[in-house]
Amino acid sequence: MISFRRLCSIALIIVLAIPVVLIARESGNEDWVLADAIPPTGEAAAFIMFAAMGIGPLARIIGARRRWVAWLLRKRRMIGVTAFCYAMLHLVLYSVDMGTLDLMLAEIGAPGIWTGWLAFLAMALPAAASNDRAMRMLGRMWKPVQRLLYPVVALTIVHWAVLMYDWTEPLVHVAPMLGLYAVAAILAFMKSRKRTFA
């Protein structure tokens, strides 16, 4: 019999696979073109990255000892790597749709394009370091590498907003993660103040 923990892991895998399943289903439409799959893969990468990054502050707010929070913390690495996989698929689809390197280089100076490239490259380092061996090799340098994800969030929002001519959508989607960080920072500040005056 499958354990509850295993069922939760299977459910998480299914949830993370939903975007690519929806994209594959849409590709069966007669009027579908490859370019139609580029925005959804980028959005999936952003959503999943925001979710992975929100787990840390959530654990600081609620407490990492709760079983479901501890489970999320254990799955955070897998969720983050999945976000990078969607980002890689986003880049591959963009490259295939553009067709040639010359066309890609011709538009690389556009704000909506270079921010995407920079976000991907900065995201690649933490993704490459998301294994036990790399973490042991990096030692104390692992944390600074992981912190590259903060500028990745900013670059992702700009990339998304500039290309879609809309700041509202990306800001709405990043708001829960930013809210968790804000609450965690406020609680940490209040705790430090309490210690000071104790």
Digit-coded pLDDT (tens) for 52-77: 999 999 999 998 788 888 888 899 99
Q: Does residue 139 have a pLDDT over 70?
A: yes
Cα gap 151→167, rounded to integer Å:
17
Q: Residue 170: which pLDDT band, with cuts at 50, 70 and 90?
A: very high
Give the closest residue to 39 by CA, choosing from 74, 101, 89, 85: 89
Per-residue pLDDT of 15-44, as tens digits, reads 999 999 998 888 878 788 888 889 999 999
Give the closest residue to 83 by CA, choosing from 132, 133, 21, 126: 126
Please answer whether residues 129 and 148 qualify as being in contact, where contact means their C-beta atoms are separated by less than 8 angstroms.
no
Mean pLDDT, residues 105-130: 90
Amino acid 190 reads M
